[in-house]
DNA sequence: ATGGCGTACATAGTACGA
C-alpha cells in the first residue's frame, strides 16, 4: 500500500503532471496542497477518469487541498480542522479501509514577527488538539502534507543562514515535536536516507540544480502503523519537468496488515 | 542587493509563497 503527498502549486497548471505521475506511480491515496481552485473549478472528471475518487476543499487563488483515493471512496470526510474557525482551505481527511488519512497545507507563516506567524501557531495548536481525538478514534492514522516546517538542521541546505527564519524557528520545530509526542513518527526518518534530502527547492537562483532546498513536506504515521512502514522516499523526478511545482512528492509504502 | 521565480488576478503591478 502506498500513500503520497504533493504540493502541486496550482492544480490548474499541474493537472497534466499529476495525471502523468499517477500513471507512473499508482498510489492508493495522494493528498494535494495548493490546488488554488474553488470547488466549482476542480477537475473532478479528469481525476476520476484516471481511476481515482476524489474529495476536495478549495478556494480561489490560494490554498486548497484534495484527497485522491484509488478504487474506494474515502469515508467520513472532514474539511478543515473541526471547531477551528478558518476561512482558508487547508485540511482534508478521510478514511480508507481502516486507515485515517489526513492531508494538510500548513500555514507558511511568512516571518516570525508577522500576523501570519501568529495564525500559524494557532492553526498548529488546533491541529494538535484535534489530532489527539482523531488518534483516539482512529489508531491507524497517517498525517501527510506540506508542513512548512523543517524539523531539524539536517533538513535545511544552509542551517546557519536559515537559523531562526521561517520554517526553522524553535516555535515551529517545537510544534513538530509536539505532533511526534502524540504518537506519530516521521516516516522518512525511519530509514537511512541520502544526506541533503529536500522536498522543496526555491524557483529562484537555480536552487534545484544546486540541490539547495528544505525538507518541509512530511508523512507522519501513528504508532499502530509504524511497524508496517517499509519505505519512504522523495520523488525528485517531477521537479525536473518543464514548469514544475517547487515541491516534490513524498511517498510512503506500507506492508499489508 | 529583501531581489532573483512562479502563480493568480483588478491583466499591471501587487500579493504571496518558502
For A98-149, what is each residue's pLDDT tens digit? 999 999 999 999 999 999 999 999 999 999 999 999 999 999 999 999 999 9
What is the DSSP-derived secondary structure letter of residue A155?
G
Chain B: positions less than 7 Å from a protein CB are 4-9, 16-18
Average pLDDT over residues A57-63: 96
Give the contacts of A140 (CB within 8 A, at least 6 positions apart).
A98, A99, A100, A222, A224, A225
Q: What's the pLDDT at A63?
A: 97
Average pLDDT over residues A180-198: 98
- pLDDT bin (cut points 50, 70, 90) of residue A201 is very high
Residue listed under C-alpha cell 515541491:
A247
pTM: 0.97
Query: Can you give the distance from the CA of residue A205 to the C1' of nucleotide B1 in angstroms?
Result: 14
Average pLDDT, chain A: 97
Q: What does residue A144 show for φ and ψ, rounded to 5 degrees? A: -125, 155
Q: Is the CB of A166 less than 7 A from some atom of nucleic acid strand B?
A: yes
Is residue A157 annotated as part of the catalytic site, yes or no?
no
With residue A21 as reference, give the H or E element that holds it.
helix A11-24
Average pLDDT over residues A78-95: 97
Share of chain A above pLDDT 70, in %: 100
- d(CA A93, CA A142) in angstroms, rounded, equals 10
Is residue A7 within 8 Å of residue A30, measured between CB atoms? no
Q: Is the CB of A59 less than 7 A from some atom of nucleic acid strand B?
A: no
Q: Is residue A185's pLDDT more than 80?
A: yes
Q: What's the pLDDT at A130?
A: 98
Closest-CA residue to A65 (of A106, A16, A14): A106
Cβ burial of A4 (10 Å; 0-12, 13-18, 19+) is buried
Q: What's the pLDDT at A257?
A: 77
Is residue A59 within 8 Å of residue A33, measured between CB atoms? no
Is residue A105 annotated as part of the catalytic site, yes or no?
yes
Q: Which of A28, A146, A155, A246 is catalytic?
A: A146
Is residue A24 within 8 Å of residue A238, measured between CB atoms? no
- pLDDT bin (cut points 50, 70, 90) of residue A5 is very high
Share of chain A above pLDDT 90, in %: 99
Give the contacts of A130 (CB within 8 A, at least 6 positions apart).
A81, A82, A83, A84
Q: Where are the beta strands (DSSP E) in chain A?
A: 2-7, 29-33, 52-57, 65-70, 75-79, 91-96, 99-105, 141-146, 184-186, 217-222, 229-234, 250-254
Q: How far is CA A19 from the centre of its chain?
A: 18
Q: Is residue A47's pLDDT more than 80?
A: yes
pLDDT tens profile A233-254: 999 999 999 999 999 999 999 9
Q: Is the CB of A9 less than 7 A from some atom of nucleic acid strand B?
A: yes
Q: Are strands A29-33 and A250-254 parallel, antiparallel or unpaired?
A: unpaired
Q: Is the CB of A203 less than 7 A from some atom of nucleic acid strand B?
A: yes
Amino acid at each position: 500500500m502506498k500513500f503520497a503527498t504533493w504540493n502541486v502549486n496550482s492544480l490548474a497548471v499541474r493537472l497534466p503532471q499529476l495525471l502523468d505521475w499517477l500513471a507512473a506511480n499508482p498510489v492508493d491515496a495522494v493528498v494535494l496542497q495548493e490546488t488554488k481552485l474553488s470547488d466549482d473549478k476542480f477537475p473532478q472528471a479528469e481525476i476520476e477518469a484516471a481511476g481515482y475518487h476524489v474529495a476536495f476543499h478549495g478556494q480561489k487563488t490560494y490554498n486548497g487541498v484534495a484527497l485522491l483515493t484509488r478504487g474506494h471512496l474515502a469515508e467520513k470526510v472532514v474539511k478543515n480542522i473541526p471547531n477551528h474557525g478558518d476561512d482558508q482551505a487547508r485540511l482534508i481527511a478521510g478514511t480508507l479501509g481502516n486507515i485515517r488519512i489526513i492531508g494538510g497545507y500548513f500555514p507558511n507563516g511568512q516571518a516570525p514577527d508577522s500576523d501570519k506567524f501568529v495564525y500559524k501557531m494557532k492553526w498548529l495548536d488546533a491541529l494538535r488538539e484535534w489530532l489527539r481525538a482523531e488518534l483516539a478514534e482512529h489508531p491507524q492514522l497517517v498525517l501527510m502534507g506540506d508542513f512548512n516546517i523543517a524539523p531539524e538542521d539536517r533538513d535545511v541546505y544552509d542551517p546557519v543562514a536559515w537559523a531562526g527564519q521561517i520554517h526553522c524557528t524553535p516555535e515551529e520545530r517545537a510544534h513538530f515535536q509536539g505532533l511526534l509526542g502524540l504518537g506519530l513518527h516521521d516516516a522518512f526518518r525511519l530509514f537511512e536516507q541520502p544526506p541533503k534530502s529536500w522536498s522543496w527547492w526555491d524557483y529562484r537562483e537555480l536552487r534545484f540544480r544546486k540541490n539547495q532546498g528544505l525538507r518541509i513536506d512530511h508523512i507522519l504515521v501513528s504508532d499502530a502503523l509504524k511497524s508496517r512502514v517499509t519505505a519512504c522516499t522523495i520523488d525528485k523526478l517531477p521537479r525536473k519537468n518543464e514548469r514544475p511545482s517547487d515541491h516534490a512528492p513524498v511517498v510512503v509504502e506500507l506492508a499489508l496488515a
